[in-house]
Amino acid sequence: MTRPDTKIEAFHAHVYFEAEQQPQARRLRELIPSRFDVNLGRWREVAYGPHPTGAYQVEFAGELFGELVPWLMLHRDGLDILVHPLTGDDVVDHTDYAMWLGTPLTLNIDFLRRNSY
């Protein structure tokens, strides 16, 4: 689905981790806001919403995409990260418009279809 009239103002990066990866995830969580103007979401140690593992969200302005995403590529320390725009359509944002750093995980897209996220 192409929506040429959609303006992307912001993005989410969802940083996923298993229990044994919490030290890397915490380190990255401390580094990101020391280098970039972002909003950090809550730390969640278990699956929630459409997310299959523990995770936290990083919300950032579209202007930061070209700097933050390459930085995450180099500093993710084995963590899997989903990056997607905020267009107002959670389903396509998390699927068609999404990109992965690391291994793509299977999201619960039915949750997004049922809920305003």
Hey, what domains does the chain have and what are their CATH numbers? 10-112 (3.30.70.1240)
User: Are 52 and 72 contacting, i.e. CB atoms less than 8 angstroms apart?
Assistant: no
Mean pLDDT of 97-104: 97
Q: How confident is the model at residue 1 (pLDDT cuts 50, 70, 90)?
A: low
pLDDT, averaged across the chain:
93
Q: How confident is the model at residue 115 (pLDDT cuts 50, 70, 90)?
A: confident
Q: What is the pLDDT of residues 22-64, one digit of tens each?
A: 999 999 999 999 999 999 999 999 999 999 999 999 999 999 9
Edge to edge, the sheet with strand 39-40 lists: 39-40, 54-61, 10-17, 80-85, 99-101
